[in-house]
Amino acid sequence: MDIKNYLDSTYLKTLEQSGLSKSEHLKTVTSYIQEAIDHNFKLIMIRPDQVRLAKEMIVKAGSKVTIGTVISFPEGTHSLEEKLAEAQEAIDNGADDLDFVCNYQAFINDDLETVKQEIIQGTQLGLQNNKIVKWIIEVAALNEKQIIQYCALIKKLVVSNFKEDSYHNVFIKSSTGFYVTQNNLPNGATIPSIIMMLENGSPLSIKAAGGVRTYEEAVEMIKIGVKRIGTSSALAIASGQESDSNY
């Protein structure tokens, strides 16, 4: 197993969140992109305003690393129109993967029409542009029943509205890694939450994000069926080291 083929190397802090100067922040983003190129990770996951930079660096290096970005991150509460516009701009700038944050608050509040429309239209936009689409459900904000129901709903909408040969290009993703939990509870992927996603989201692919910090944990996720792992510590994981990162 070449674990690098599963790793979405991730840096999603804003300038404000990083606590760095503008030039230091840009240097950090650039270093993550270059690291992904140097170590042949599956993908570099960055903010939308950094997609052009990544594209330029990857093309210049002749690399096969793909580019992912996040939509309506991390709250997921943007309107459908705003999400589609942000996604279209990311496509225009060279993104390969679109990781939409679901409006999980709408789901929790039983506003299923909002949820259905964003899943259908966001998936349609991505697939018609030959992109991979991922839907982040934010497992830490949901109880077990809601995780099961959300995955089943996304699966139903994709299977009902799109062709079978596109299913492998639609993922359900566990977490943003930015959700604030109480009492130090996990805010990302756990084995129990991922198993629920796999059991109720198949035949869609599953991405585990947040909380995978060691090579052993990553391998365990892959063995149970995960197709992608989002981590800010891709190099540490690939090197068999343990990360102290919280994402």
- Helix %, strand %, coil % of the chain (to 5): 50, 15, 35
207 has catalytic annotation: yes
* C-alpha dihedral, 55 to 212 to 21 to 180, nearest 10°: 120
| CA 222 to chain centroid | 16
181 touches 140 (CB < 8 A): yes
Question: Six-digit token pair at 232?
Answer: 């800010």
Tell me which of 83, 131, 155, 207 is the catalytic residue: 207
Report which DSSP code applies to 94: T
Question: Six-digit token pair at 103?
Answer: 């409006």
99 has catalytic annotation: yes
- Give the whole-angstrom CA distance, residue 42 versus residue 64: 8
Question: Six-digit token pair at 208?
Answer: 């585990």
3-class DSSP assignment, residue 210: coil
Tell me which of 8, 96, 97, 99 is the catalytic residue: 99
- Give the whole-angstrom CA distance, residue 217 versus residue 242: 10
Helix (H) or strand (E) holding 21: none
Q: Give the residue carrying structure tokens 């910090």.
A: 213
208 touches 171 (CB < 8 A): no
- Give the whole-angstrom CA distance, residue 86 versus residue 88: 6
- The DSSP annotation for 77-97 comes to -S-HHHHHHHHHHHHHHT-SE
Active site residues: 99, 173, 207
